[in-house]
């Protein structure tokens, strides 16, 4: 549905995305995680067709109006009321929308602005949902969305239940792109001549330390794995 091939982005001569290749298919649910400044927003803007890369190719095999893109901080005229914005669309059943219709944009929380952003796409029956920086209040929207989903966030914990695949960005590069289960690890603590040491292993692997040397086996969270292997300089 959306494909990026060898995409890079320069801003003021700094390469803030490098050689990104990825593919979002109809039923994919992808989480994009990375530390602050790793390039998540720029990548989401490219996936949404909002900005163009400096080099590489972007293919959209979908009507772009059907890509519901929820920016990190959606912008609407501050003094318009929710109902005035909804009136600009061909949306018919406002009553199903869980926002106060008489509230002005300036009085909405960030989460409410994100929801409003999503509702504006409803008349187009969106096929793909892109959320830049997930917030918990969007949970129901994500769960019930029928189509591809790409969510960026700075940790895996908050988005784990909604995604199947994970992309980890580090300094503008993809350093991990696979099924989320590949991030399930355990730490084996064992006795050695130099004291207690640890080894990180995939959860399903047999411990490759002699049994009588093992002190403890500890499950680690996917976020610990993300920080340990994929976010170090």
**How many Å apart are CA 134 and CA 111, to the nearest integer?**
9
- Find the binding residues for ligand ATP in span 139-178 (CB under 6 A): 154
Task: Single out the segment in contact with ligand ATP by CB under 6 A; choices: 35-43, 192-200, 213-221, 223-231.
Answer: 35-43
Element (H, E) at 188: strand 185-192
Among 10, 11, 110, 199, binds ligand ATP (CB under 6 A): 11
Shortest spacing between CB 36 and ligand ATP, in angstroms = 4
Q: Is 36 in the site for ligand ATP (CB under 6 A)?
A: yes
Among 7, 31, 33, 41, binds ligand ATP (CB under 6 A): 41
Shortest spacing between CB 11 and ligand ATP, in angstroms = 4
Task: Single out the segment in contact with ligand ATP by CB under 6 A; choices: 9-17, 75-83, 102-110, 115-123.
Answer: 9-17
Shortest spacing between CB 105 and ligand ATP, in angstroms = 22
Tokens 């996917």 belong to residue = 222
Q: Tell me the two tokens of residue 37.
A: 């400044």
Q: In sequence order, what are the beta bridge partners of 184? A: none
Shortest spacing between CB 128 and ligand ATP, in angstroms = 19
Shortest spacing between CB 76 and ligand ATP, in angstroms = 20
**How many Å apart are CA 116 and CA 118, to the nearest integer?**
5
DSSP state of 114: H
Among 31, 34, 56, 74, binds ligand ATP (CB under 6 A): 34
Q: Is 128 exposed, middle or buried (0-12, 13-18, 19+ CB in 10 A)?
A: buried
Parallel/antiparallel/unpaired status of strands 128-131 and 148-153: parallel
Task: Kindly state the number of chain residues that form the binding site for ligand ATP, as judged by CB under 6 A.
Answer: 13
Q: What's the N-to-C CA distance of the chain in angstroms?
A: 34
Shortest spacing between CB 161 and ligand ATP, in angstroms = 21
- For residue 90, count other CB atoms closer than 10 A to its CB: 8
Q: Is 233 in the site for ligand ATP (CB under 6 A)?
A: no
Q: Are 66 and 148 in contact (CB under 8 A)?
A: no
Q: Is 10 in the site for ligand ATP (CB under 6 A)?
A: no
Q: Is 122 helix (H, G, I), strand (E, B) or coil?
A: helix
Q: Is 71 in the site for ligand ATP (CB under 6 A)?
A: no
Among 1, 2, 16, 149, binds ligand ATP (CB under 6 A): 16
Q: Tell me the two tokens of residue 110.
A: 């960030």
Residues found near ligand ATP in the complex (CB under 6 A): 11-12, 16, 34, 36-42, 72, 154
């Amino acid at each position: 549905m959306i494909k990026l091939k060898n995409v890079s982005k320069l801003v003021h001569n700094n390469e803030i995305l490098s050689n990104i290749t990825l593919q979002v298919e109809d039923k994919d649910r992808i989480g994009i995680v990375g530390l602050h400044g790793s390039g998540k927003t720029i990548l989401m803007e490219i996936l949404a067709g909002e900005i163009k890369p400096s080099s590489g190719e972007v293919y959209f095999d979908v009507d772009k109006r059907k890509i519901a893109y929820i920016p990190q901080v959606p912008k609407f005229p501050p003094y318009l009321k929710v109902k005035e914005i909804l009136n600009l669309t061909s949306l018919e059943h406002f009553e199903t929308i869980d926002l106060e219709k008489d509230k002005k944009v300036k009085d909405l929380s960030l989460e409410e602005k994100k929801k409003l952003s999503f509702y504006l796409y409803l008349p187009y029956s969106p096929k793909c949902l892109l959320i830049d920086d997930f917030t918990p209040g969007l949970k129901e929207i994500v769960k019930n969305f029928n189509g591809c989903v790409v969510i960026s966030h700075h940790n895996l914990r908050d988005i784990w239940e909604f995604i199947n695949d994970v992309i980890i960005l580090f300094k503008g590069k993809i350093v991990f792109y696979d099924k989320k289960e590949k991030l399930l690890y355990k730490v084996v603590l064992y006795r050695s001549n130099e004291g207690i040491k640890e080894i990180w292993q995939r959860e399903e692997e047999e411990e490759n330390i002699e049994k009588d040397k093992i002190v403890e086996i500890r499950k680690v969270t996917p976020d610990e794995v993300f920080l340990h292997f994929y976010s170090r300089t």
